[in-house]
Each structure stands twice: as C-alpha cells, then as structure tokens.
Amino acid sequence: MRFQQIAAASKILSSHLPRMRRPNASRQVSSVASALKNSPIFRTMGLIGGKWVEAYDHHTLQVNNPANGELITEIPFMGTLETNDAISAASEAFKSWSKLTAAERSKYLRNWYDLIMAHKEELGQIITLEQGKPLKEALGEVNYGASFIEFFAEEAKRVYGDIIPTPLGDRRLFVLKQPVGVVGAVTPWNFPLAMITRKVGPALACGCTVVVKPSELTPLTALAAAELALQAGIPPGVLNVVMGNAPKIGDALLASPQVRKITFTGSTAVGKKLMAGAADTVKRVSLELGGNAPCIVFDDADLDVAVKGALAAKFRNSGQTCVCANRIIVQEGIYEKFAEAFSKAVQNLQVGDGFTEGVTQGPLINESAVQKVESFLQDAMSKGAKVILGGKRHSLGMTFYEPTIVTGVKCDMLLASEEVFGPVAPLLRFKTEEEAIQIANNTKAGLAAYLFTKNVQRTWRVSEALEYGLVGVNEGIISTEVAPFGGIKQSGLGREGSKYGLDEYLEVKYVCLGDMNRT
C-alpha cells in the first residue's frame, strides 16, 4: 500500500474512542525502545567513509522521545572536522561510483530498497520513537520513503543524452549528462526517512555521492537507513552521515569546493542562508522551503469529500508538514455547513502516544513548536478570531496539543500569513472565485494548494491561477514518488521525485566532433 493510502487511512475517524493514552502506553514504549536498541539497524554514531565514528572531541547530544521526554540515546555532536572528512570520503568514492554503469548503480539501489522494506516495522518504530507521529503514519512514511529508492533505481537506467542535427557537414554534435559530484543534503525532522531518500535516491542513481546532515532531533532514522545502505553493498564513502553542530556542519558543506551541490528541506530563513552561502563557490542549490498552503472549498464542493480532504491535508503529522493546509478558505454559501461538519470530524481525532492503537495525533516535536502555536492563536484571538474547538495544550501534557479550529480568521493574522506548523485549522470566508484566488496567492510562499469543487471548468481555471508548485483537486494527500515535488516564489527552487528529480543531480555537457569528413 502506497504512502497516500496509508496516510489517508490513518486519518479515518475513530468512533467514540477516548482521547487519552492507555495506562500501559509508557511500558509499551519502553519495551519497543529496548527492543530497538538491540536491533542491528539501530546505530548511534556518524558514518564517514563506511566507518561508524564518534565525534572527534567525544561530545554528544541527547535524542529524546517527544511523547514523554525520555532519553532514547546519545549521538555524536559533530562539527567542522568530521564534516570535512566526510566530504573527503565522498569525493574519493565519487571517482569510482560515478564510473559504474547505470545498471550497476540500479542494482545497489534495488538492494537498498529491498532491505528497507524488509525492516519496515523497525524503521517505523524508530520514526515514531524519535519523531512522535502515530505508528501507522510512520509505517506509511517508510513505504513512501522506500518508493523513491525503488523509483530511482529504475530511473538510473533512463538518463539519456541527445544528438543535435549539425549546421555543418563535417561536425557531429551530441549532449552528455554527467553526475554533479559530491552533494550536501540537509534534511528536516518531520519526515526523517522520506526527506533523505527523496534526495539520496536520485543523487546515487545519477552517480553522485552524498554527505547527509539529518536533523539532530531525529537522527536515528537516518542512521538506520545508512546502515541498510551498507548492508545493501553500497560502497564506503558513497553515503555519509554527520550530525551535531548544525551551523558548523552547514558552513563546512558550503565552504568546500569539493561539494558541488546543496539540497535542503526546511525553513525559508535557513534556505536563504544556504543559498547565499553557496554563492562563494557557485554551488548548485535545490531548496524545498516553507509553505502557506491554501485549501479552497467552493459552494459546489462535495461536503464529505471536502471535509475528508481538508482533514488529511491539515492534521497529518499533527500539522507538521510543509504542505499542510495552513488556511482553509471556504465560500460563504457552504461556510457554516463546512465548519460544523469539519468540527465533528476533528473532534473524533484521537491524541496520544504514537504507539497506542487508534491514535491519529501525536505530540508536537518540542516545546518551541507548542509556544509558536500558542503565540499564533493569541495573535488571532486578539484580532477578533474565535476558537470553536481545542485551542489549548492537551491534558496529556508534554507537547501534546488539542486539534484546533479557529473561525473569523483574517489575512492580517499570523495564522493566515505565516506557517503555524501545528494542529490548528484557521477558517477564512470568501464570496467569489476571484477573491479566493486573491486570498490564496497573497503570500510569499508557493508550495502546495488544495481546492474542492465539482465544476470541471473551475478546476482548470483555479489550478492555473494558483501560484503554487503543487495543486490537489478534491484530494488532500498528493505527494508521490512519480510526480515532481517543489514550490515557487519563496518556497524553493528545483523539484524532487519523478523523472524531473534526476535533473537536479546532472550536469549537461555539449561535445562537438570536428573534421568528420576526413577519410
């Protein structure tokens, strides 16, 4: 089952389940954590040149479970020296990896995919343990993340050049596509597996080597995936993982002339800094940055479809995705009906530890995330918005937050102008199609957008008018490995996934052969 189906299934509403953790939840989590620590894929050191290494100064960083605050393990707090060694290892490995045939690289990637799927349960448990999302969603992420490795294992054999008709009879013109070189990949905590495979898959398929810097909040998934890459036979140095001091690691990646490309998923602010830093060595840059996704519900929408789609688009991963519906913009003729139906659906979302059966909403990643949600809500209420559901920390404590719906939201409120990254659904009202498009496009972001309507002509008009890289029509879960993922405006540069994702890791070389008429 693909990620979209599993993620959607995880949002199917529970019927009258209590919104609390079961008494044995803590013991269950401890049992899972103990079992994982004995797993051969559970790694706690960095990977440089095929070897598992500690930080050179032996400094460490704690990794905690966001659901209960308990220490999972400690990881190396790496910095400049370790990153430079990882870059050197990747540069050395590039000499041989880039010379392999596409078919050979494809086999390595296929082996990696098979091992990821064979260890699906363990990977899902690691994701839930360190990131907090419900286990069903975590397993869906494993499927989704693995799909990029499978897809690019196949696409590796389809990197085609070109023959150009020559204007001169004694010349032959052709185009080669060659790997960029060493890639620095910086990934976030909200999808700790998929955001890595979506970058590493095409990079390795094209013949590049990679230094990955995962989030310090969720490094264990990245290390487990790297262990499986080694088991798959991917040569030492082709994939390296360093984590710890993010500024120093980032600066080392930017400063090195051996690193020819930076690929990053994360905040727009950090993306801008990486883009500026890459200028000194003129690196290629791919950026998948923040969003402010509108979800437009027209009067002629199927109410059930709109509620289901908005629920999935808003509350997946507790609202902590870059494509989450950040603004639900509802036409006035259906506004009240939608608000009522949506509220009933959201009331049935079960909040709790991700290992508890039936839970659809896990914790927010940390205290800072909760405080951001609270500040956005306070701003909205001070300007006249009304909380009709939720609006406060959950009784479970820690960083759990009640799924929240806010009405009367205006465009000048933080909830509408910035990315909340939490389980808060702001409802805005509009009258005309033109007004909906104006509200939707009134943002610096341009990643994902959603619309719900039965009108085919409107579907085309609005989809073309929306200034976004992805548009979902009557669907709230739209990401897939076979389609290009990426934004416009300040939501980023480049595309990930699909055949277009390969181009981000390839250089185009033109070759002219002269004096071809000589015998």
Look up residue 98 and give its two tokens: 């880039």
Quick check: pTM over 0.75? Answer: yes
DSSP 460-511: HHHHHHS--SEEEES-S----TTS-B--SGGGEES-BSTGGGGGGGEEEEEE
Q: Give the CA-trace dihedral at 430, 431, 434, 436, to 10 degrees.
A: 20
Phi, psi of 459 (to 5 degrees): -55, -50
Whether 293 contacts 476, CB under 8 Å: no
Query: In the β-sheet with 162-164, what is the strand arrangement from edge to edge?
Result: 162-164, 172-179, 506-513
Distance from chain centroid for Cα 154? 22
Of the pLDDT bands very low, low, confident and very high (cuts 50, 70, 90), residue 28 is confident
Is the pLDDT at 11 greater than 50? The verdict is: no
Look up residue 468 and give its two tokens: 């976004």
Which residue type is seen at 124? G
Question: Which residues are part of the catalytic machinery?
Answer: 288
Instruction: Name the DSSP letter for residue 103.
Output: H
Stronger pLDDT, 281 or 18, i.e. the higher one: 281
pLDDT at 143: 98
The H-or-E segment that residue 264 falls in is strand 259-265
Is the pLDDT at 344 greater than 60? The verdict is: yes
Is the pLDDT at 519 greater than 80? The verdict is: no
Query: pLDDT > 90: what percent of the chain?
Result: 92
Instruction: Name the DSSP letter for residue 413.
Output: S
| N-term to C-term CA, the chain | 60
**pLDDT 10s digits, 409-434:** 999 999 999 999 999 999 999 999 99
Burial class (CB in 10 A: 0-12, 13-18, 19+), 449: buried
pLDDT at 517: 87
Task: Give residues with Cβ within 8 angstroms of 301, minimum separation 6.
Answer: 334, 452, 453, 454, 474
CA distances from 301 to 8, 79, 330, 413, 434 (A): 19, 52, 10, 26, 17
Query: pLDDT > 70: what percent of the chain?
Result: 95
**pLDDT 10s digits, 116-136:** 999 999 999 999 999 999 999
Q: What is the mean pLDDT of the chain?
A: 94
Is the pLDDT at 9 greater than 90? The verdict is: no
3-class secondary structure, 257: coil
Sign of CA dihedral 286, 287, 288, 292: negative
Task: Scan for tokens 């990747």, then name that residue.
Answer: 90
Bridge partners of residue 24, in order along the sequence: none
Of the pLDDT bands very low, low, confident and very high (cuts 50, 70, 90), residue 30 is confident
**Rounded mean pLDDT, 4-9:** 35
Of 127, 145, 147, the residue nearest 136 (C-alpha): 127
Burial profile 341-355: b = 16 or more Cβ within 10 angstroms, e = fewer: bbbebbebbbbbbbb
Of 127, 131, 244, 250, the residue nearest 184 (C-alpha): 250
Label residue 515 left, alpha or beta by phi (over 0 means left) and psi (-120 to 50 means alpha): left
Bridge partners of residue 471, in order along the sequence: 449
Whether 128 contacts 28, CB under 8 Å: no
pLDDT at 24: 59
Burial profile 130-152: b = 16 or more Cβ within 10 angstroms, e = fewer: bbbbbbbbbbbbbbbbbbbbbbb
Of 167, 205, 185, 154, the residue nearest 87 (C-alpha): 185
**pLDDT 10s digits, 444-479:** 999 999 999 999 999 999 999 999 999 999 999 999
Is the pLDDT at 31 greater than 90? The verdict is: no
3-class secondary structure, 391: coil
**Rounded mean pLDDT, 361-381:** 98
